Amino acid sequence: MLPILEYGKDLPRLFSRSQTDISEVNEAVKKIIAEVRKNGDKALFAYTKQFDNFDLSMQNILLTKGEIDEAVAKVPKKIMDAMRRAKDNIVAFHKRQMPKENFETKNGATTGFVYRAVSSAGIYVPGGKAAYPSSVLMCALPAVVAGVEEIVMVTPPGKYLNPLTIAAAKECGVNKIFRVGGAQAIAALAYGTESIPKADVIVGPGNIFVAVAKKEVYGQVGIDMLAGPSEILIIADNSANADFVAADMLSQAEHDELAASILLTTDKEFANAVNAALQAQLEKLTRKEIAKKSLENYGTIVLCDSLDQAAELSNKLAPEHLELCVKEPKKLLLKIKHAGAIFMGNYSPEPLGDYFAGSNHVLPTSSTARFSSGLGVDTYLKRISVIDYSKDAFLKSAEDIITLATVEELTAHAESVRIRTQI
Among the options 94, 255, 321, 361, which is catalytic? 321
Distance of alpha carbon 15 from alpha carbon 13, whole angstroms: 5
What is the phi/psi pair of residue 102, to 5°? -145, 125
421 touches 403 (CB < 8 A): no
Helix, strand, coil shares of the chain as percentages rounded to 5? Answer: 50, 15, 35
Distance of alpha carbon 242 from alpha carbon 226, whole angstroms: 33
CA angle 16, 226, 364 (to 5 degrees): 70
Reported as half-sphere exposure (CB side, CA atoms, 13 A), residue 334 has a value of 4
Reply yes or no on whether 320 is catalytic. Answer: yes
340 touches 319 (CB < 8 A): yes
Distance of alpha carbon 176 from alpha carbon 169, whole angstroms: 9
Task: Find all residues with CB under 8 Å of 115, minimum gap 6, and list them.
Answer: 98, 99, 101, 381, 382, 383, 384
- Position 15: which residue type? F
CA nearest neighbour of 130 among 163, 153, 154, 159 = 163
Reply yes or no on whether 94 is catalytic. Answer: no
Question: Around Cβ 92, how many Cβ atoms within 10 Å?
Answer: 11
Distance of alpha carbon 326 from alpha carbon 346, whole angstroms: 8
Distance of alpha carbon 387 from alpha carbon 112, whole angstroms: 7
Three-class secondary structure of residue 139 per DSSP: helix
Beta strands in 310-419 (DSSP E): 321-325, 341-344, 381-389
Among the options 216, 231, 320, 350, which is catalytic? 320
Distance of alpha carbon 298 from alpha carbon 257, whole angstroms: 9
What is the phi/psi pair of residue 386, to 5°? -130, 130
Reported as half-sphere exposure (CB side, CA atoms, 13 A), residue 141 has a value of 27
Catalytic residues: 320-321
